[in-house]
DNA sequence: CGTAGGGCCCTAC
DNA sequence: CGTAGGGCCCTAC
């Protein structure tokens, strides 16, 4: 399994209503300082309906980017029960999934 | 083969 | 708050 497949598979562990960060996901697949690699892989996500890349956000609590637009990412997260105020996730620590 | 460049970032100031 | 620099992996020369 190549890196991308491992990343997509690992991300499936993150349930609806929770989020992870680019850095955490990088660590989860054994990458050090691989945040940007994760971002790139998310951008190339060929299975947007299956792999929940909208649940990957920035460690600062901001939403981060999204191939189809940040407002869509924001809406998807809201629909899953994640509250977002002024572009930042409320109760970030409580929503953060631990691999 | 080697390497430059870039990406949905992170940390420290 | 903003910004600079870093660091990793892939892709295209």
Is the CB of residue A52 inside 7 Å of nucleic acid strand B?
no
Question: Confidence band (pLDDT; 50, 70, 90) for A48?
Answer: confident
Indicate which residues of A carry an active-site annotation: 53
pLDDT digits (tens, 9 = 90+) for A10-46: 999 999 999 999 999 999 999 989 999 999 999 999 8
**Protein contacts of strand C with Cβ less than 7 Å away:** A 2-4, 31-37, 40
Cα(A29)–Cα(A63) distance, integer angstroms: 21
Burial of A76 (0-12, 13-18, 19+ CB in 10 A): middle
Whether the Cβ atoms of residue A19 and residue A60 lie closer than 8 Å to each other? no
Whether the Cβ atoms of residue A26 and residue A35 lie closer than 8 Å to each other? yes
Q: CATH fold of A3-95, please?
A: Arc Repressor Mutant, subunit A (1.10.10)
Is the CB of residue A38 inside 7 Å of nucleic acid strand B?
yes
Residue recorded with tokens 């953060």? A96
Question: Confidence band (pLDDT; 50, 70, 90) for A1?
Answer: confident
């Amino acid at each position: 399994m190549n890196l991308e497949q491992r990343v997509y598979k690992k991300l499936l562990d993150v349930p609806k209503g929770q989020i992870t960060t680019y850095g955490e996901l990088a660590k989860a697949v054994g990458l050090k300082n691989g945040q940007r690699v994760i971002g790139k892989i998310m951008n190339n996500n060929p299975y947007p309906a299956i792999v929940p890349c909208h649940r990957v956000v920035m460690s600062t609590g901001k939403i981060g980017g999204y191939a189809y637009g940040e407002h869509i990412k924001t809406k998807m997260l809201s629909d899953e029960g994640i509250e977002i105020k002024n572009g930042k996730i409320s109760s970030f620590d409580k929503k953060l999934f631990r691999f």
